[in-house]
Structure 1
Amino acid sequence: MSEICKNYNVNSEEICFVGDDIFDVGLMKDLKYSFCPSDAPQVVKENSKSLASKGGDNVLVELYEKLESMSLIEKKDYEEIIQPLYEEDIKDMF
């Protein structure tokens, strides 16, 4: 974690983590913003904030909306978010 913080010039309170396995618990305990999908094992849920979505069922979309509602990230228009992703996909295709 210290290497990530150093490389990105952030502190651990600025990092959000999503995990769904017992091996993620150690990291979850070190971070203020840890989340897990609703179908994660109980020990994972006890060490993070549980999301309503199951793993693979739009967990990242729900997390993004949750972070927006917590005012942890700036609210952006759908097009601002999705357009760069499409452009990146197009670059990878050619």
Structure 2
Amino acid sequence: MEKSYKELLNNITTFIFDVDGVLTDSSVHITSTGEMLRIMNIRDGYAMKAALESGYNICIISGGNNEGIRIRLKNLGLNDIHLASPDKVATFKEYIQLYNINADQVLYMGDDIPDYHVMQLVGLPVCPQDASPEIKAISKYISHKKGGKGAVREIIEQVMKVQGKWHLYYNGKHD
């Protein structure tokens, strides 16, 4: 019998997120100089910082490349930021090998076709509410939140609560 996604939350040690459509709402604001601006959710950032401080691994794998995104993620404490990744599966395999992570302990949140193949390799593939139908079809959990609108916070909080770490973090006992 296949485990429910709630049962799989207990095994998660590592979060991997796509950027566009997951950490952002997929919108790109283009300035008159051609610069592409994205909007990220502050609560998603808070949850990623909480997860890092609680000992979870967080990795970003994105096909897009935006220096503003890299700066924002670095400021949250993330070190494993793979932007302009031409092959997400290869990047994923290198990452888990480097840190000796079991793929069954990985939660990957993606939203569109470039995430499809890597999501098939992880223990818990999840997606935002507004993901493509193909991604929804292979996800073991579909967030009630849209990409860039708190989906990352929602899934991190669920994992940390199931593992008894959100309450500890919330009460300031995360030293």
What TM-score does the superposition give when structure 1 sets the normalisation length? Answer: 0.73
* Aligned positions, number: 82
Unaligned runs of 5+ in 1: 81-94
Report 1:1-94 matches (<5 A): 1-48=92-139, 49-71=141-163, 74-75=165-166, 76-78=168-170, 80=172
State the match for 1:85 in structure 2. none
* Identical columns (%): 28
Q: Which has the higher strand share?
A: 2
CA drift of 1:79 comes to 6.3
Give the letter for the 2:169 counterpart. D
Unaligned runs of 5+ in 2: 1-91
What TM-score does the superposition give when structure 2 sets the normalisation length? Answer: 0.41
Q: RMSD across aligned C-alpha pairs, in angstroms?
A: 2.5
CA drift of 1:52 comes to 0.5
CA drift of 1:47 comes to 0.8
Higher RCO by CA contacts (8 Å cutoff, separation 6 or greater): 2
CA drift of 1:9 comes to 1.7
Give the letter for the 1:65 counterpart. E
Q: 1:79 to 1:7 in 2, by over 3 A?
A: farther
Aligned partner of residue 46 in structure 1, secondary structure: helix
